[in-house]
């Protein structure tokens, strides 16, 4: 699972998180007003990412593309101590190598972890 650091900005029945990379992630998990501004990690599985030209959760330059038959793994170049980010997109996407790609995920597939625990289990 990709873990992207961020901070909650709009607690409600759908939690909105501003990510360190400038993206925005929405989760189907509920949060409270006491959670506003909390440091969290947003978890998105590689297969749950989808390309977007609009609001994004992650944006990065593709370092390596790895065709695996009906899917392509995209490995993104990361800076400093950032964890690697991997996306798995349907189809063959060799043309994405060395390009900037914006990714998002359906809120029902976005996981939020606060203080080491998932908001799902609160």
The full set of domain ranges for the chain reads 2-116
The per-residue pLDDT of the chain, averaged, comes to: 91
Q: What is the pLDDT of residue 81?
A: 64
Distances (CA, A) of 12 to 16, 23, 34, 111: 8, 19, 11, 15
For every residue of 1-43, which 3-state class applies, written as one string?
Answer: CEEEEEEEEECCCCEEEEECCCCEEEECCCCCHHHCCCEEEEE
Token pair 């390596």: residue: 64
Chain CA centroid to CA 83, Å: 12
pLDDT higher than threshold 80 for residue 78: no
Q: How confident is the model at residue 24 (pLDDT cuts 50, 70, 90)?
A: very high
Predicted TM-score (pTM) of the model is: 0.91
pLDDT higher than threshold 70 for residue 22: yes
pLDDT digit string, tens, across residues 35-51: 899 999 999 999 999 99
């Amino acid at each position: 699972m990709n873990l992207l650091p961020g901070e909650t900005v709009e607690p409600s029945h759908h939690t909105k998180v501003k990510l360190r990379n400038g993206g925005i992630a929405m989760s189907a998990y509920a949060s409270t007003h006491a959670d506003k501004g909390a440091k969290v990690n947003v978890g998105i599985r590689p297969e749950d990412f989808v390309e977007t030209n609009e609001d994004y959760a992650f944006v990065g330059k593709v370092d390596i593309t790895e065709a695996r038959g009906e899917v392509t793994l995209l490995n993104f170049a990361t800076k400093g101590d950032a964890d690697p980010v991997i996306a798995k997109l349907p189809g063959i996407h060799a043309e994405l190598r060395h390009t900037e790609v914006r990714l998002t995920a359906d809120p029902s597939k976005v996981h939020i972890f606060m203080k080491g625990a998932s908001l799902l289990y609160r």
